[in-house]
Amino acid sequence: MTKILRLNEISPLADSFFAGYEYSDKAENPDGIIVRSAQMSEYKVNDNLLAVARAGAGTNNIPSAEYAEKGIVVFNTPGANANAVKELVICELFLGGRKFTDALDWVRTLKGEGANVPKLVEKGKSKFVGCEIAGKTLGVIGFGAIGILVANAAVALGMKVVGCDPYLSTNNALALSPAVRLVPTRDEIYANADFITAHVPLTAETKNMFDAETIAKFKNGAVLINNSRGELADTQVVIAALGSGKLGRYITDFPTEELIGIKNAICVPHLGASTPEAEDNCAVMAAKQLSDYIENGNIVNSVNYPSVSMPRTGIARLCIHHKNIKEILSKLLAIISAQGINVANMQDVSRGEYAYLICDLDEKPSEGSLDVMRAVSGVLKVRLI
């Protein structure tokens, strides 16, 4: 029986995709794993493991590159929690413009003042004057599923929106409001935006992208919103910029010890995708992708292998993970041809140094031929469905 290990609590909406499987948080030697935030760097991978599905967009808790070398596919669920994060960003825009958090903290100090509370409120409210976001400029860095929703919602709220994404796809560009002004460099955002929100993955390029040099380019008093990854910003630089007034506010979904208690730093306890709707959406997408891969070999939304998907047409389906090197495909096809087996349909797609072959055959190949394929230099995993 196929085994799926559940490393975190997952929405029960995922259950139906694993009917007939052993699906539990105690499955041993699993064929697949579904996970949210559990750290997998120390997880001991068994030989049966085919794939890991992350119910969320970020996969920093999964050693994806190491798994690619073992022919283990890592899936994520881009866009499944996009609306939840968008709503949090919109909330944070208001928090950045108005001093709500400070004001609420102050109101709590009035407990016990009895009938004097209304007078004290009227006297003290001037300390918490803020600004409206309508008419202000929002800079959006990154137009993936979340960035698009944020930009379009901000336009609807009356903001001017300027954005930058060198990897903007045609489909995502078409989904953007025509009112969004695209610029070629981030510097144009930094110079003009009253609010800046980043929606990019954590990579070597984006780590500490908000450093001293970058923040020096901001408008004085700009609000920086970071719901992507805490490491996008240099914490000490941010604290210094808040102290000097260069940054009006820093709002992040990734609190750190250093940020907590800093004036004008608003630390949200990682609530971006913490809604029942987002958890359901992520679980369903992750379960669907994982089960489709296990049953049909199709790859959709992998972070370490190319997307390869096609309907079943033959008697048997051969799935091969291999390095993206010359002549390897011809060697594999030659092994199939040597058995006199016809290829009904096939796709071989590469992504960086890795590639994935789906090959539908009119006959089932012998176990011996599969072993011959596994011995080909550059082949990482061979699976017959």
The residues carrying an active-site annotation are: 229, 258, 270
**Measured between alpha carbons, how far is 382 from 385 in angstroms, rounded to an integer?**
10
Among 336, 338, 345, 324, which residue's Cα sits nearest to residue 364?
336
What tokens does 331 get? 């060697």
DSSP string covering 343-362 = EEEEEEEEETTEEEEEEEES
Query: Using an 8 Å Cβ cutoff, are 40 and 60 in contact?
Result: no
- Sequence-distant (6+) residues with CB within 8 A of 32 are 2, 3, 4, 5, 49, 50, 51, 52, 53, 290, 293, 294
Residue 53, strand partner residues: 34, 75
Distances (CA, A) of 60 to 37, 278, 325: 9, 19, 27
Cα of 318 vs its chain's centroid, Å? 30
